[in-house]
């Protein structure tokens, strides 16, 4: 069998199966919490962290183990992390992350500082090198027996996840970097330079820039997604697809303020960032020699035209061939207008299409409404035609998805075009966490996830305080009503019949008036 690959000159030439090589990838396709990882809640498995990664240890054929009686101060940063002398994470040393409104924070799971810096008033370079937020986290994460005052404030999600599920985004990143010796060596060098000088500075090509500032434009209506992250979700909420109990706490706003916010976004509802995207692109271009990867997040990034301006600008620098591009995408669209993701494949080192996929077939079509499963599969197949375009799945385990999520790893195993799967346990809104399912259903699900202890741990937790399953049903059934008579019409109990016995049709939702549907004109939905 032969196919095509890209040469360094952007030309196509034939290659055989034997010559196919995914840059920096191995064959293990089930990663986070998969078979072989027996971490239990409160017990983080460090066995795969920083194993044989430094040139020195590779030459010696050791993993730089700790020595009995050795003081923490005499250990390497590697061993300090493994022995939990420090609460170390690679992300503050390797990632710049901005929210949709331009606000900076450590990563997508981190908390922001009140009235903290934004893309508008703080450059990428200044944020990484000089911000008190990043400097304090780095110092605490590399200080033995630190009280972690800032870390406990800004990184509480990972701390909580490790306690509840035995793993977190922090531990996941550490394990992934284990499998990339070259990258890990550069990280260690950067950390050691920081410890020696007390100053972090751009050095080597290790930075990942994650941007959400290109807007909230999206083509799907995912029931668990924050409304401000999707133009389609905003439209539905305006029409009454809303539940105060579920969403006001998450959005830190009451219904009236949310409505005002929607109106302020404008008719097209394409985002909340009011600053200069052009300025940010110019900064990315300036930092191109230090960028290892760029991740674009939406909304749905592949239909947001503005981000292609950045892609073109990076190509013009000549650095694109060294840079990985990552898209957090729903995988239903791969192009918009004259722009196609595949046009950039010849120029960049690799394009990773990270699909938000947490169900198969009708399951995902219900949970992420407006998804067409066949189109999604076709796009995966198209990605497989490009040797440097890699498809990963990154699912969200939630109240609904956990009912069928065990089907997704099996699908990944059977599809040669998908490299790996990762997942996270849904955090907010709390009512949609998997632990809120009826106990009888959870008892049946637990055996299906015996190889994934974090999901088991989530199912073994009791329901959230004051949880009311009828409010969840009211919200989901309101969305069903919203889509009646359209091509996306589906009904909760048809897709998840095991839930119907717990439904009380006489229940009156707490927010009936605020959530009244306004769907007289179906064209608004279409």
Which pLDDT tens digit goes with each residue over 110-133? 999 888 899 999 999 999 999 999
Q: Which residue has the tokens 């009646």?
A: 484
Q: How far is CA 407 from CA 36, 324, 355, in A?
A: 19, 29, 15
Q: Is the pLDDT of residue 152 over 50?
A: yes
Query: Quick one: pLDDT at residue 251?
Result: 62
Q: Which residue has the tokens 């962290």?
A: 49
Backbone dihedral region for residue 42 (phi beyond 0: left; psi -120 to 50: alpha; all else: beta) = left
- The whole-angstrom separation of Cα 351 and Cα 299 is 18
- The whole-angstrom separation of Cα 219 and Cα 256 is 25
Query: What's the number of CA atoms in the CB half-sphere (13 Å) around residue 286?
Result: 11
Secondary structure letter of residue 384 according to DSSP? T
What are the boundaries of each domain within the chain? 55-61+73-204
Backbone dihedral region for residue 427 (phi beyond 0: left; psi -120 to 50: alpha; all else: beta) = alpha
Query: What's the number of CA atoms in the CB half-sphere (13 Å) around residue 168?
Result: 25
Length of the chain equals 526
- The whole-angstrom separation of Cα 3 and Cα 178 is 31
- The whole-angstrom separation of Cα 67 and Cα 107 is 34
- The whole-angstrom separation of Cα 301 and Cα 225 is 15
Confidence of residue 175 (pLDDT cuts 50, 70, 90): confident
Q: What is the CA radius of gyration of the chain?
A: 23
Q: Is the pLDDT of residue 266 over 80?
A: no
Which pLDDT tens digit goes with each residue over 36-48? 677 889 988 888 7
Query: Quick one: pLDDT at residue 493?
Result: 98
Residue 397: phi and psi, rounded to 5, are -85, 115
pLDDT above 70: percentage of residues in the chain: 82
Confidence of residue 7 (pLDDT cuts 50, 70, 90): very low
- The whole-angstrom separation of Cα 3 and Cα 14 is 5
- The whole-angstrom separation of Cα 173 and Cα 191 is 15
Q: How far is CA 197 from CA 113, 143, 187, 201, in A?
A: 26, 14, 15, 10
- The whole-angstrom separation of Cα 153 and Cα 156 is 6
How many Cβ atoms from other residues are within 10 Å of residue 175's Cβ?
20
- The whole-angstrom separation of Cα 157 and Cα 169 is 9
Query: Quick one: pLDDT at residue 45?
Result: 85
- The whole-angstrom separation of Cα 129 and Cα 123 is 10
Q: What is the mean pLDDT of the chain?
A: 85
Q: Is the pLDDT of residue 197 over 60?
A: yes
Question: What mean pLDDT is predicted for residues 368-382?
Answer: 97
Residues pairing with 208 in the sheet: 95, 293
Q: Is the pLDDT of residue 22 over 50?
A: no
Q: Is the pLDDT of residue 259 over 70?
A: no
- pTM for the full model? 0.88
Query: Quick one: pLDDT at residue 316?
Result: 97
Backbone dihedral region for residue 389 (phi beyond 0: left; psi -120 to 50: alpha; all else: beta) = beta
CB 398 within 8 A of CB 392: no
Query: Quick one: pLDDT at residue 245?
Result: 81
Q: Is the pLDDT of residue 192 over 70?
A: yes
Q: Is the pLDDT of residue 253 over 60?
A: no
Burial 188-213, CB ≥16 within 10 A → b, else e: bebbeebeeeeebebebbbbbbbbbb
Helices (H) and strands (E) in the chain, counts: 21, 14
Which pair of tokens denotes residue 233?
Answer: 């979700």
CB 200 within 8 A of CB 139: no
Q: How far is CA 348 from CA 184, 200, 326, 351, in A?
A: 21, 27, 11, 7
Query: Quick one: pLDDT at residue 509?
Result: 86
Query: Quick one: pLDDT at residue 244?
Result: 81
Confidence of residue 75 (pLDDT cuts 50, 70, 90): confident
Which pLDDT tens digit goes with each residue over 286-331? 999 999 999 999 999 999 999 999 999 999 999 999 999 999 999 9
Which pLDDT tens digit goes with each residue over 396-433? 999 999 999 999 999 999 999 999 899 999 999 999 99
CB 296 within 8 A of CB 341: no
CB 224 within 8 A of CB 398: yes
Q: Which helix (H) or strand (E) element contains residue 272? A: none
């Amino acid at each position: 069998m032969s196919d095509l690959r890209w040469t360094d000159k952007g030309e196509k030439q034939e290659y055989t199966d034997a010559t196919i090589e995914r840059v920096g990838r191995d064959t293990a396709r089930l990663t986070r919490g998969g078979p072989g990882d027996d971490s239990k809640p409160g017990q983080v498995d460090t066995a795969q962290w920083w194993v044989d990664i430094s040139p020195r240890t590779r030459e010696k054929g050791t993993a730089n183990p700790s020595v009995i009686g050795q003081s923490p101060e005499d250990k390497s940063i590697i061993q300090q992390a493994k022995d939990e002398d420090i609460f170390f994470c690679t992300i503050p040393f390797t990632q710049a992350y901005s929210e949709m409104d331009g606000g900076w924070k450590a990563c997508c799971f981190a908390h922001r500082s009140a009235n903290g810096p934004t893309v508008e008033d703080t450059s990428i370079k200044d944020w990484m090198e000089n911000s008190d937020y990043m400097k304090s986290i780095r110092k605490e994460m590399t200080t033995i027996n630190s009280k972690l005052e800032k870390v406990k404030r800004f990184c509480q999600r990972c701390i909580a996840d490790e306690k509840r599920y035995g793993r977190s985004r922090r531990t996941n990143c550490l394990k992934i970097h284990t499998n990339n010796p070259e990258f890990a060596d550069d990280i260690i060098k950067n950390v050691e330079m920081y410890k020696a000088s007390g100053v972090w500075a751009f050095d080597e090509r290790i930075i990942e820039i994650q941007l959400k500032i290109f807007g909230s434009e999206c083509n799907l209506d995912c029931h668990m997604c924050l409304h401000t992250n999707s133009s389609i979700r905003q439209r539905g909420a305006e029409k009454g697809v809303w539940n105060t109990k579920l969403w006001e706490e998450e959005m830190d706003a009451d219904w009236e303020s949310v409505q005002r916010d929607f109106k302020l976004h404008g008719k097209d509802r394409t985002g909340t960032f009011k600053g200069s995207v052009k300025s940010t692109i110019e900064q990315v271009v300036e930092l191109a020699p230090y960028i290892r990867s760029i991740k674009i997040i939406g909304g749905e990034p592949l239909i947001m035209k503005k981000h292609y301006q950045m892609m073109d600008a990076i190509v013009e620098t000549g650095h694109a061939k060294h840079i990985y591009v990552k898209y957090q995408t729903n995988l239903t669209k791969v192009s918009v207008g004259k722009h196609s993701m595949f046009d950039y494949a010849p120029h960049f080192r690799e394009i990773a299409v990270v699909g938000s996929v947490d169900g198969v077939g009708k399951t995902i079509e219900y949970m992420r409404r407006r998804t067409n499963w066949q189109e999604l599969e076709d796009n995966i197949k198209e990605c497989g035609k490009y040797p440097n375009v890699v498809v990963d799945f990154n699912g969200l385990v939630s109240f609904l998805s956990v009912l069928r999520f065990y089907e997704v790893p099996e699908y990944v195993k059977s599809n040669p075009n998908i490299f790996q799967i990762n997942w996270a346990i849904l955090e907010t809104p709390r009512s949609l966490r998997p632990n809120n399912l009826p106990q009888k259903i959870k008892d049946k699900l637990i055996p299906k996830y015996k190889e994934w202890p974090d999901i088991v741990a989530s199912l073994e937790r009791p329901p959230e305080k004051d949880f009311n399953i009828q409010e969840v049903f009211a919200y989901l059934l309101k969305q069903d009503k919203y889509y009646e008579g359209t091509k996306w019409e589906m009904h909760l109990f048809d897709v998840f019949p095991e839930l119907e016995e717990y439904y009380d049709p006489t229940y009156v939702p707490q927010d009936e008036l605020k959530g009244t549907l306004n769907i007289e004109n179906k064209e608004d939905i279409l």
